[in-house]
Structure 1
Protein backbone atom coordinates (compact mmCIF):
# COMPACT_ATOMS: atom_id res chain seq x y z
CA UNK A 1 0.00 0.00 0.00
CA UNK A 2 1.15 3.55 -0.71
CA UNK A 3 2.34 5.41 2.38
CA UNK A 4 0.87 8.91 2.81
CA UNK A 5 3.28 11.87 3.01
CA UNK A 6 2.62 15.56 3.64
CA UNK A 7 3.74 18.94 2.38
CA UNK A 8 2.65 22.52 3.14
CA UNK A 9 2.78 25.74 1.16
CA UNK A 10 0.92 29.03 1.42
CA UNK A 11 -1.32 27.89 4.25
CA UNK A 12 -2.39 24.73 2.38
CA UNK A 13 -1.52 21.21 3.52
CA UNK A 14 -1.17 18.58 0.78
CA UNK A 15 -1.38 14.80 0.81
CA UNK A 16 0.92 12.68 -1.36
CA UNK A 17 1.49 8.95 -1.72
CA UNK A 18 5.27 9.09 -1.66
CA UNK A 19 5.52 10.99 -4.97
CA UNK A 20 5.20 14.61 -6.08
CA UNK A 21 1.61 14.00 -7.25
CA UNK A 22 -0.95 15.77 -5.06
CA UNK A 23 -3.66 13.43 -3.79
CA UNK A 24 -5.59 16.00 -1.78
CA UNK A 25 -5.38 19.36 -0.05
CA UNK A 26 -6.79 21.35 2.87
CA UNK A 27 -6.59 25.07 3.58
CA UNK A 28 -5.60 25.22 7.23
CA UNK A 29 -7.78 28.26 8.02
CA UNK A 30 -10.79 26.95 6.06
CA UNK A 31 -10.77 23.13 6.22
CA UNK A 32 -14.09 22.67 4.39
CA UNK A 33 -13.03 24.75 1.38
CA UNK A 34 -12.38 22.80 -1.80
CA UNK A 35 -8.88 24.01 -2.67
CA UNK A 36 -8.31 21.98 -5.83
CA UNK A 37 -10.43 22.93 -8.85
CA UNK A 38 -11.23 19.34 -9.75
CA UNK A 39 -12.66 18.66 -6.30
CA UNK A 40 -15.02 21.58 -6.85
CA UNK A 41 -16.08 20.01 -10.15
CA UNK A 42 -16.70 16.70 -8.40
CA UNK A 43 -19.59 18.47 -6.65
CA UNK A 44 -21.29 19.32 -9.97
CA UNK A 45 -24.00 16.77 -9.17
CA UNK A 46 -25.48 19.53 -6.99
CA UNK A 47 -26.79 21.04 -10.22
CA UNK A 48 -29.24 18.14 -10.38
CA UNK A 49 -29.72 16.81 -6.84
CA UNK A 50 -30.26 18.09 -3.31
CA UNK A 51 -29.77 15.21 -0.84
CA UNK A 52 -31.85 15.08 2.32
CA UNK A 53 -30.65 14.27 5.82
CA UNK A 54 -31.66 10.62 5.36
CA UNK A 55 -29.79 10.17 2.08
CA UNK A 56 -26.19 9.11 1.63
CA UNK A 57 -23.43 10.48 -0.58
CA UNK A 58 -20.73 7.97 -1.51
CA UNK A 59 -17.07 8.83 -2.02
CA UNK A 60 -14.71 6.26 -3.52
CA UNK A 61 -11.20 7.29 -2.52
CA UNK A 62 -10.69 9.36 0.63
CA UNK A 63 -7.66 11.41 -0.44
CA UNK A 64 -7.27 14.26 2.05
CA UNK A 65 -10.95 14.08 2.96
CA UNK A 66 -11.88 17.29 1.13
CA UNK A 67 -15.09 15.98 -0.42
CA UNK A 68 -16.18 14.40 2.85
CA UNK A 69 -15.58 17.62 4.79
CA UNK A 70 -17.43 19.71 2.20
CA UNK A 71 -20.49 17.47 1.99
CA UNK A 72 -20.83 17.29 5.76
CA UNK A 73 -20.49 21.05 6.23
CA UNK A 74 -22.69 22.28 3.40
CA UNK A 75 -25.37 19.60 2.94
CA UNK A 76 -27.61 17.59 5.21
CA UNK A 77 -26.53 14.28 3.73
CA UNK A 78 -24.75 11.39 5.37
CA UNK A 79 -21.47 10.26 3.81
CA UNK A 80 -19.88 6.87 3.26
CA UNK A 81 -16.27 6.98 2.11
CA UNK A 82 -14.55 3.87 0.75
CA UNK A 83 -10.78 3.83 1.24
CA UNK A 84 -8.43 0.94 0.51
CA UNK A 85 -5.55 2.11 2.71
CA UNK A 86 -6.14 2.51 6.48
CA UNK A 87 -2.94 4.60 6.69
CA UNK A 88 -4.63 7.26 4.55
CA UNK A 89 -7.58 7.35 6.94
CA UNK A 90 -5.22 7.64 9.90
CA UNK A 91 -3.36 10.51 8.23
CA UNK A 92 -6.66 12.25 7.52
CA UNK A 93 -7.74 11.94 11.13
CA UNK A 94 -4.40 13.27 12.38
CA UNK A 95 -3.57 15.97 9.83
CA UNK A 96 -6.68 16.73 7.74
CA UNK A 97 -9.48 17.07 10.30
CA UNK A 98 -11.52 14.15 9.09
CA UNK A 99 -14.93 14.64 10.74
CA UNK A 100 -16.14 12.47 13.60
CA UNK A 101 -18.33 9.53 12.53
CA UNK A 102 -21.69 11.02 13.58
CA UNK A 103 -22.75 11.51 9.93
CA UNK A 104 -19.64 10.13 8.27
CA UNK A 105 -18.59 6.51 7.83
CA UNK A 106 -15.29 5.25 6.39
CA UNK A 107 -15.22 1.68 5.12
CA UNK A 108 -11.84 0.07 4.37
CA UNK A 109 -12.01 -2.14 1.30
CA UNK A 110 -11.41 -2.22 -2.43
CA UNK A 111 -13.85 0.20 -4.10
CA UNK A 112 -14.59 -2.36 -6.82
CA UNK A 113 -15.60 -4.92 -4.20
CA UNK A 114 -17.67 -2.33 -2.35
CA UNK A 115 -19.80 -1.33 -5.33
CA UNK A 116 -20.15 -4.99 -6.35
CA UNK A 117 -21.52 -5.90 -2.92
CA UNK A 118 -25.28 -6.32 -3.22
CA UNK A 119 -25.74 -4.80 0.23
CA UNK A 120 -24.69 -1.44 -1.24
CA UNK A 121 -27.12 -1.52 -4.17
CA UNK A 122 -29.20 1.66 -4.30
CA UNK A 123 -27.34 3.12 -1.35
CA UNK A 124 -26.03 6.46 -2.68
CA UNK A 125 -27.86 9.51 -4.01
CA UNK A 126 -24.58 10.77 -5.44
CA UNK A 127 -21.34 8.87 -5.95
CA UNK A 128 -17.95 10.58 -6.39
CA UNK A 129 -15.20 8.37 -7.81
CA UNK A 130 -11.57 9.47 -7.37
CA UNK A 131 -9.37 6.37 -7.41
CA UNK A 132 -5.66 6.96 -8.00
CA UNK A 133 -2.48 5.46 -6.62
CA UNK A 134 0.84 7.20 -6.00
CA UNK A 135 1.79 7.13 -9.68
CA UNK A 136 -1.46 8.86 -10.68
CA UNK A 137 -1.41 7.19 -14.11
CA UNK A 138 -5.15 6.94 -14.57
CA UNK A 139 -7.82 5.46 -12.28
CA UNK A 140 -6.98 2.13 -10.67
CA UNK A 141 -10.55 0.88 -11.22
CA UNK A 142 -12.04 1.59 -14.64
CA UNK A 143 -13.68 -1.48 -16.19
CA UNK A 144 -17.19 -1.61 -17.64
CA UNK A 145 -18.11 -3.99 -14.80
CA UNK A 146 -16.84 -1.50 -12.21
CA UNK A 147 -18.92 1.34 -13.64
CA UNK A 148 -21.95 -0.94 -13.95
CA UNK A 149 -21.58 -1.69 -10.26
CA UNK A 150 -21.32 2.06 -9.56
CA UNK A 151 -24.60 2.47 -11.45
CA UNK A 152 -26.16 -0.20 -9.23
CA UNK A 153 -24.86 1.50 -6.06
CA UNK A 154 -26.78 4.66 -6.96
CA UNK A 155 -30.36 5.13 -5.82
CA UNK A 156 -33.15 5.07 -8.41
CA UNK A 157 -32.38 8.71 -9.18
CA UNK A 158 -28.68 9.49 -8.80
CA UNK A 159 -25.56 11.05 -10.30
CA UNK A 160 -21.98 9.81 -10.43
CA UNK A 161 -18.99 12.10 -10.92
CA UNK A 162 -15.58 10.68 -11.88
CA UNK A 163 -12.18 12.35 -11.81
CA UNK A 164 -10.24 11.54 -14.99
CA UNK A 165 -7.15 12.90 -16.72
CA UNK A 166 -8.15 14.45 -20.03
CA UNK A 167 -4.77 14.25 -21.74
CA UNK A 168 -4.06 10.62 -20.89
CA UNK A 169 -4.47 7.28 -22.62
CA UNK A 170 -6.92 6.18 -19.91
CA UNK A 171 -9.42 8.95 -20.70
CA UNK A 172 -11.17 7.63 -23.83
CA UNK A 173 -11.33 4.12 -22.35
CA UNK A 174 -12.94 5.37 -19.16
CA UNK A 175 -15.46 7.56 -20.97
CA UNK A 176 -16.41 4.67 -23.26
CA UNK A 177 -16.83 2.33 -20.29
CA UNK A 178 -18.93 4.87 -18.38
CA UNK A 179 -21.13 5.41 -21.44
CA UNK A 180 -21.68 1.67 -21.73
CA UNK A 181 -22.53 1.29 -18.05
CA UNK A 182 -24.85 4.33 -17.91
CA UNK A 183 -26.64 3.92 -21.24
CA UNK A 184 -24.79 6.87 -22.82
CA UNK A 185 -26.20 9.32 -20.25
CA UNK A 186 -22.90 11.11 -19.76
CA UNK A 187 -21.75 14.73 -19.74
CA UNK A 188 -18.25 16.19 -19.41
CA UNK A 189 -16.95 19.33 -17.74
CA UNK A 190 -14.04 21.18 -19.41
CA UNK A 191 -10.53 20.08 -18.56
CA UNK A 192 -8.86 22.28 -15.94
CA UNK A 193 -5.27 23.51 -15.90
CA UNK A 194 -4.02 20.56 -13.86
CA UNK A 195 -5.28 18.17 -16.56
CA UNK A 196 -8.20 16.75 -14.58
CA UNK A 197 -11.50 16.29 -16.37
CA UNK A 198 -14.66 15.42 -14.48
CA UNK A 199 -17.37 13.28 -16.09
CA UNK A 200 -20.99 13.15 -14.89
CA UNK A 201 -23.17 10.07 -15.41
CA UNK A 202 -26.89 9.90 -14.68
CA UNK A 203 -29.32 7.28 -13.42
CA UNK A 204 -33.07 7.75 -13.25
CA UNK A 205 -35.97 8.96 -15.38
CA UNK A 206 -34.89 10.97 -18.40
CA UNK A 207 -36.22 14.52 -18.27
CA UNK A 208 -35.73 17.57 -20.44
CA UNK A 209 -34.00 20.38 -18.58
CA UNK A 210 -34.56 23.85 -19.97
CA UNK A 211 -31.82 26.44 -20.17
CA UNK A 212 -33.69 28.58 -17.65
CA UNK A 213 -34.07 25.72 -15.17
CA UNK A 214 -30.41 24.76 -15.29
CA UNK A 215 -29.16 28.33 -15.00
CA UNK A 216 -31.48 29.11 -12.09
CA UNK A 217 -30.31 26.01 -10.29
CA UNK A 218 -26.69 26.94 -11.04
CA UNK A 219 -27.18 30.41 -9.59
CA UNK A 220 -28.64 28.86 -6.43
CA UNK A 221 -25.76 26.38 -6.10
CA UNK A 222 -23.22 29.15 -6.64
CA UNK A 223 -24.80 31.34 -3.96
CA UNK A 224 -25.30 28.58 -1.39
CA UNK A 225 -22.15 26.52 -1.88
CA UNK A 226 -19.69 29.11 -3.26
CA UNK A 227 -18.90 26.94 -6.26
CA UNK A 228 -18.54 28.14 -9.89
CA UNK A 229 -21.78 26.42 -10.84
CA UNK A 230 -22.92 28.93 -13.50
CA UNK A 231 -19.72 28.26 -15.45
CA UNK A 232 -20.38 24.52 -15.16
CA UNK A 233 -23.96 24.94 -16.34
CA UNK A 234 -22.88 26.90 -19.39
CA UNK A 235 -20.33 24.22 -20.24
CA UNK A 236 -23.01 21.53 -19.94
CA UNK A 237 -25.44 23.56 -22.03
CA UNK A 238 -22.91 23.44 -24.84
CA UNK A 239 -23.75 19.71 -24.83
CA UNK A 240 -27.47 20.43 -24.64
CA UNK A 241 -28.32 17.80 -27.21
CA UNK A 242 -26.99 15.21 -24.75
CA UNK A 243 -28.69 16.46 -21.58
CA UNK A 244 -31.00 13.75 -20.28
CA UNK A 245 -30.76 14.57 -16.61
CA UNK A 246 -32.69 14.66 -13.41
CA UNK A 247 -35.28 16.75 -11.65
CA UNK A 248 -33.81 19.34 -9.28
Structure 2
Protein backbone atom coordinates (compact mmCIF):
# COMPACT_ATOMS: atom_id res chain seq x y z
CA UNK A 1 0.00 0.00 0.00
CA UNK A 2 1.21 3.49 -0.82
CA UNK A 3 0.77 5.69 2.25
CA UNK A 4 0.59 8.68 -0.11
CA UNK A 5 -2.26 7.10 -2.06
CA UNK A 6 -3.76 4.35 0.13
CA UNK A 7 -6.71 3.74 -2.21
CA UNK A 8 -4.50 2.95 -5.23
CA UNK A 9 -4.14 -0.60 -6.56
CA UNK A 10 -0.42 -1.33 -6.35
CA UNK A 11 -0.57 -4.95 -7.56
CA UNK A 12 -1.42 -5.92 -11.12
CA UNK A 13 -3.70 -8.78 -10.16
CA UNK A 14 -5.94 -6.40 -8.20
CA UNK A 15 -6.22 -4.10 -11.22
CA UNK A 16 -7.01 -7.16 -13.32
CA UNK A 17 -9.83 -8.17 -10.97
CA UNK A 18 -11.38 -4.75 -11.59
CA UNK A 19 -11.87 -5.77 -15.22
CA UNK A 20 -15.49 -6.51 -14.39
CA UNK A 21 -16.20 -2.78 -14.92
CA UNK A 22 -15.98 -3.43 -18.67
CA UNK A 23 -19.22 -5.39 -18.32
CA UNK A 24 -20.89 -4.03 -15.17
CA UNK A 25 -19.58 -0.54 -14.36
CA UNK A 26 -22.31 0.36 -11.85
CA UNK A 27 -22.78 -2.55 -9.44
CA UNK A 28 -25.36 -1.95 -6.76
CA UNK A 29 -24.09 -4.66 -4.39
CA UNK A 30 -20.60 -6.14 -4.17
CA UNK A 31 -19.60 -9.10 -2.01
CA UNK A 32 -15.88 -9.62 -1.38
CA UNK A 33 -14.27 -12.69 0.18
CA UNK A 34 -10.96 -11.92 1.86
CA UNK A 35 -10.01 -8.55 3.35
CA UNK A 36 -6.23 -8.80 3.31
CA UNK A 37 -4.75 -5.31 3.17
CA UNK A 38 -8.04 -3.98 1.88
CA UNK A 39 -6.82 -2.64 -1.48
CA UNK A 40 -9.80 -3.78 -3.54
CA UNK A 41 -12.44 -2.80 -0.95
CA UNK A 42 -10.86 0.66 -0.59
CA UNK A 43 -10.63 1.21 -4.35
CA UNK A 44 -14.24 0.14 -4.92
CA UNK A 45 -15.49 2.19 -1.97
CA UNK A 46 -13.81 5.31 -3.32
CA UNK A 47 -14.53 4.99 -7.02
CA UNK A 48 -17.80 3.02 -7.23
CA UNK A 49 -19.88 5.49 -5.29
CA UNK A 50 -23.17 3.70 -5.87
CA UNK A 51 -22.00 0.30 -4.64
CA UNK A 52 -22.98 -1.28 -1.36
CA UNK A 53 -19.93 -3.35 -0.30
CA UNK A 54 -19.77 -6.32 2.07
CA UNK A 55 -16.37 -7.87 2.85
CA UNK A 56 -16.27 -11.34 4.45
CA UNK A 57 -13.11 -12.18 6.41
CA UNK A 58 -12.67 -15.21 8.66
CA UNK A 59 -9.58 -14.07 10.57
CA UNK A 60 -10.17 -11.51 13.35
CA UNK A 61 -6.45 -10.68 13.36
CA UNK A 62 -6.72 -9.48 9.76
CA UNK A 63 -9.78 -7.40 10.61
CA UNK A 64 -7.83 -5.99 13.55
CA UNK A 65 -5.37 -4.41 11.10
CA UNK A 66 -8.02 -2.51 9.15
CA UNK A 67 -7.09 0.84 10.68
CA UNK A 68 -3.40 0.35 9.87
CA UNK A 69 -4.36 -0.21 6.22
CA UNK A 70 -6.85 2.68 6.23
CA UNK A 71 -9.84 0.47 5.48
CA UNK A 72 -13.06 2.51 5.86
CA UNK A 73 -15.10 2.11 9.01
CA UNK A 74 -18.40 0.29 8.73
CA UNK A 75 -21.18 2.57 7.54
CA UNK A 76 -24.37 2.54 5.51
CA UNK A 77 -22.71 1.21 2.36
CA UNK A 78 -19.56 -0.55 3.62
CA UNK A 79 -19.08 -3.31 6.17
CA UNK A 80 -16.55 -5.97 7.14
CA UNK A 81 -18.14 -9.21 8.37
CA UNK A 82 -16.21 -11.79 10.38
CA UNK A 83 -17.46 -15.10 9.06
CA UNK A 84 -16.51 -18.25 7.21
CA UNK A 85 -17.22 -17.35 3.58
CA UNK A 86 -18.33 -20.89 2.75
CA UNK A 87 -21.09 -20.64 5.37
CA UNK A 88 -21.90 -17.05 4.47
CA UNK A 89 -22.32 -17.75 0.74
CA UNK A 90 -24.40 -20.84 1.43
CA UNK A 91 -27.00 -18.66 3.15
CA UNK A 92 -26.57 -15.45 1.13
CA UNK A 93 -29.57 -14.10 -0.80
CA UNK A 94 -29.33 -13.76 -4.58
CA UNK A 95 -28.57 -10.04 -4.62
CA UNK A 96 -24.87 -9.62 -5.51
CA UNK A 97 -23.96 -7.94 -8.78
CA UNK A 98 -20.28 -8.80 -8.30
CA UNK A 99 -18.58 -11.38 -6.08
CA UNK A 100 -14.80 -11.19 -5.54
CA UNK A 101 -13.00 -14.33 -4.35
CA UNK A 102 -9.53 -13.52 -3.02
CA UNK A 103 -9.38 -15.66 0.10
CA UNK A 104 -6.09 -17.41 0.77
CA UNK A 105 -4.61 -19.23 3.74
CA UNK A 106 -1.08 -20.43 4.41
CA UNK A 107 -1.46 -23.36 2.02
CA UNK A 108 -3.36 -21.50 -0.69
CA UNK A 109 -7.12 -21.34 -1.19
CA UNK A 110 -8.94 -23.20 1.60
CA UNK A 111 -10.69 -26.33 0.35
CA UNK A 112 -14.09 -24.96 1.33
CA UNK A 113 -13.58 -21.93 -0.96
CA UNK A 114 -12.73 -23.86 -4.11
CA UNK A 115 -15.23 -26.69 -4.03
CA UNK A 116 -17.91 -27.41 -6.60
CA UNK A 117 -20.56 -26.73 -3.95
CA UNK A 118 -19.04 -23.35 -3.07
CA UNK A 119 -19.00 -22.17 -6.68
CA UNK A 120 -22.62 -23.31 -6.98
CA UNK A 121 -23.44 -21.15 -3.94
CA UNK A 122 -21.67 -18.20 -5.61
CA UNK A 123 -23.74 -18.73 -8.74
CA UNK A 124 -26.95 -18.76 -6.73
CA UNK A 125 -25.94 -15.63 -4.74
CA UNK A 126 -25.51 -13.59 -7.93
CA UNK A 127 -28.27 -11.61 -9.55
CA UNK A 128 -29.02 -12.28 -13.21
CA UNK A 129 -26.01 -11.05 -15.21
CA UNK A 130 -23.95 -10.95 -12.01
CA UNK A 131 -20.22 -11.60 -12.27
CA UNK A 132 -17.93 -13.79 -10.18
CA UNK A 133 -14.27 -12.71 -10.18
CA UNK A 134 -11.72 -15.19 -8.80
CA UNK A 135 -8.01 -14.86 -8.08
CA UNK A 136 -6.18 -18.14 -8.66
CA UNK A 137 -2.50 -19.08 -8.65
CA UNK A 138 -1.59 -20.26 -12.16
CA UNK A 139 0.97 -22.83 -11.04
CA UNK A 140 -1.18 -24.55 -8.44
CA UNK A 141 -1.38 -28.27 -9.29
CA UNK A 142 -5.18 -28.20 -9.11
CA UNK A 143 -5.61 -25.02 -11.13
CA UNK A 144 -7.32 -26.66 -14.11
CA UNK A 145 -9.51 -28.72 -11.82
CA UNK A 146 -10.63 -25.52 -10.08
CA UNK A 147 -11.56 -24.07 -13.47
CA UNK A 148 -13.61 -27.17 -14.23
CA UNK A 149 -15.44 -26.76 -10.92
CA UNK A 150 -16.34 -23.17 -11.79
CA UNK A 151 -17.45 -24.29 -15.24
CA UNK A 152 -19.88 -26.81 -13.70
CA UNK A 153 -21.99 -23.90 -12.43
CA UNK A 154 -21.27 -21.18 -15.00
CA UNK A 155 -20.89 -23.20 -18.19
CA UNK A 156 -19.11 -21.45 -21.04
CA UNK A 157 -19.85 -17.95 -19.74
CA UNK A 158 -16.36 -17.48 -18.30
CA UNK A 159 -12.86 -16.53 -19.36
CA UNK A 160 -9.40 -16.39 -17.83
CA UNK A 161 -6.70 -13.71 -17.91
CA UNK A 162 -3.14 -14.34 -16.70
CA UNK A 163 -0.87 -11.56 -15.45
CA UNK A 164 2.51 -10.74 -17.00
CA UNK A 165 4.42 -12.65 -14.31
CA UNK A 166 2.44 -15.84 -15.04
CA UNK A 167 1.60 -15.94 -11.32
CA UNK A 168 -2.03 -14.91 -10.97
CA UNK A 169 -4.94 -16.17 -13.02
CA UNK A 170 -8.07 -14.03 -12.86
CA UNK A 171 -11.27 -15.78 -13.87
CA UNK A 172 -14.45 -13.93 -14.78
CA UNK A 173 -17.65 -16.01 -14.75
CA UNK A 174 -21.12 -14.65 -15.40
CA UNK A 175 -24.52 -15.95 -14.39
CA UNK A 176 -26.01 -14.63 -17.63
CA UNK A 177 -24.51 -13.73 -21.01
CA UNK A 178 -23.05 -10.35 -20.11
CA UNK A 179 -19.52 -11.50 -20.96
CA UNK A 180 -20.56 -11.97 -24.59
CA UNK A 181 -20.87 -8.21 -25.16
CA UNK A 182 -18.36 -7.38 -27.94
CA UNK A 183 -18.31 -3.71 -26.87
CA UNK A 184 -16.28 -4.63 -23.77
CA UNK A 185 -13.16 -5.17 -25.89
CA UNK A 186 -13.36 -1.56 -27.13
CA UNK A 187 -12.14 -0.34 -23.71
CA UNK A 188 -14.25 2.79 -23.58
CA UNK A 189 -14.46 4.43 -20.17
CA UNK A 190 -17.96 4.00 -18.74
CA UNK A 191 -19.45 7.28 -17.59
CA UNK A 192 -19.79 5.87 -14.06
CA UNK A 193 -16.03 5.27 -13.71
CA UNK A 194 -14.03 8.37 -12.68
CA UNK A 195 -11.13 9.36 -14.91
CA UNK A 196 -8.62 8.87 -12.08
CA UNK A 197 -9.73 5.28 -11.60
CA UNK A 198 -9.71 4.63 -15.34
CA UNK A 199 -6.11 5.89 -15.66
CA UNK A 200 -5.02 3.41 -13.02
CA UNK A 201 -6.84 0.50 -14.63
CA UNK A 202 -6.33 1.17 -18.33
CA UNK A 203 -2.91 -0.52 -18.88
CA UNK A 204 -4.21 -3.74 -17.35
CA UNK A 205 -7.60 -3.51 -19.04
CA UNK A 206 -5.81 -3.59 -22.39
CA UNK A 207 -4.67 -7.11 -21.54
CA UNK A 208 -8.26 -8.10 -20.82
CA UNK A 209 -9.43 -6.47 -24.06
CA UNK A 210 -6.86 -8.46 -26.04
CA UNK A 211 -8.02 -11.67 -24.33
CA UNK A 212 -11.62 -10.94 -25.30
CA UNK A 213 -10.65 -10.34 -28.92
CA UNK A 214 -8.96 -13.75 -29.01
CA UNK A 215 -11.99 -15.62 -27.65
TM-score using structure 2 length = 0.88
Contact kept in structure 1, 2:134 and 2:171, CA below 8 Å: yes
Distance in 2 separating the partners of 1:83 and 1:147: 17
Residues 1:123 and 1:235: Cα distance change in structure 2 (over 3 Å): same
Structure with more contact order per residue of length (Cα contacts < 8 Å, sep ≥ 6): 2
Q: Which residue of 2 aligns with 1:215?
A: 185
Residues 25-36 of structure 1: pairs in structure 2 closer than 5 A? 26-36=1-11
| Equivalent residues of 1:166, 1:191 under 8 A apart | no
CA RMSD of aligned residues (A): 1.9
Structure 1 stretches lacking a partner, 5+ long: 1-25, 240-248
Q: Is the 8 A contact 2:56 2:82 kept in 1?
A: yes
Aligned residues: 205
SS in 1 for 2:31: strand
Deviations 1:32-64 (A, max 9, x none): 111111111111111100225xx1111001111
* Cα deviation digits, residues 41-91 of structure 1 (max 9, x gap): 111111100225xx1111001111111000011112110000001110111
Q: Which residue of 2 aligns with 1:97?
A: 70
Flag structure 2 segments of 5+ consecutive residues without an equivalent.
none
Contact 1:219 1:230 in 2 (8 A): no
For 2:38 and 2:179, the matched residues in 1 are separated by 33
**How far is 1:236 from its partner?**
2.1
- The structure richer in helix per residue is 2
Q: What is the CA distance between 1:150 and its match in structure 2? A: 0.6
Change (3 A) 1:208 1:161: closer
Quote how far apart the aligned CAs of 1:106 are.
1.1
> Deviation at 1:194?
6.1
* Counterpart mapping for 1:229-244 below 5 A: 229-239=205-215
